[in-house]
Structure 1
Amino acid sequence: MVSLMVTIGRHPRCRTIPVNFAVVKADSPYNMLIGRPTLNALRAVYSTYHLSFKFPTPAGVAEVSSDVSTARECYLATIQAAVTPRTASKAEEKRPAVLSINCIDPQKAGKPGRLESGDEVEQVVLDEMRPDQVVQVGAGLPSSLKEEMIHLIKDHRDIFASSADEVVGVPSELMIHQLNVNPQARPVKQKRRHFGPERSKAVSDEVDKLLSARMIHEVQYPTWLSNPVMIKKDTGGWRMCVDFTDLNKACPKDCYPLPRIDASSTRQWDMRSSAS
């Protein structure tokens, strides 16, 4: 544990407070992570949606924002360093095993490329008593990382469900979800849509599977009626969805929705620093 005096903000709207840092030896693109104890000491009010926080100073309210572009570059650098094995030179062995954020120039950083999964995968059997219960792991992963991942998956194989019958769900005494439907909204019963023989059979099979797993149950004279929507999978099968367009229109929008990381990363590129 190391205690340092840290100045946050820009003069004259800044504050200097002591911060305790836990030093760890691990690959990380970040120089430091600021946690909730520091934010509480600053009396900061933060917004995860805007990726920024404000705190009072003697000269007024200071604001610290996040540089999403740099944070995205750091994230990609961490992923690439973890999956790309390479032999370090003697000069690199003497350097600290840390990816410095200073080596990334946000002015030269363009739109980050999309990380694609490898084509080669291998099947891993979770339980020898059930050879049909398998998961896929990347064949191109380093041996140490692959073995660690396989051991982790096998140690927690009870959380994987190979069929809909094994999905136990959430007990009703623990949590119940209810739709926030506007009481003044008029219920909508969509007109029945007719499907071809192939799609009709896919709908029947999916409904039978959900009924047997007790995920759905039959109702008579429903207030709201929505049609299923069949989407073709890349494997040739069908995915059944439900057209909740009318029902969504009757539900008031959340004034404080949870932030979407992908939307925040693509929309906000003018922030200043990265903090946790």
Structure 2
Amino acid sequence: MEAGSSSKRVEEAPDRNVCILQVLEEISRKGKPHEDVRSVPFDEKDPAKVFKIGTTLGTEHEEMLIRLLQEHPDIFAWELKDIPVIDLVVAVHRLYVDPHYKPIKYKKRTFS
């Protein structure tokens, strides 16, 4: 490693921190709705279950959306027990490697 490269990294660190802060600000900005929303109860029996829909929808579209959401309650997972079990064949990745063979370490490649 060159002697000047470590000091160069130290000088670049503030720029990296600024970049990270900009990314975090963008993520927090994207997490907010672009318009005002109102809460619509999903189930009168459980007031904790609500949908948030935009206030700029017309009355007809709003009623259609609410009716559609309430007609299909089985597609929403409000609690962990509502989530169906995912088959491990789909969710787990395995590498079928013979443990009797020694791993091969390849030479590091440099790209211009």
With normalisation by structure 2, the TM-score equals 0.49
Q: Report the structure, 1 or 2, having the larger strand content.
A: 1
**Which fold has the larger relative contact order, with Cα–Cα distance below 8 Å and residues 6 or more apart in sequence?**
1
Q: Report the structure, 1 or 2, having the larger helix content.
A: 2
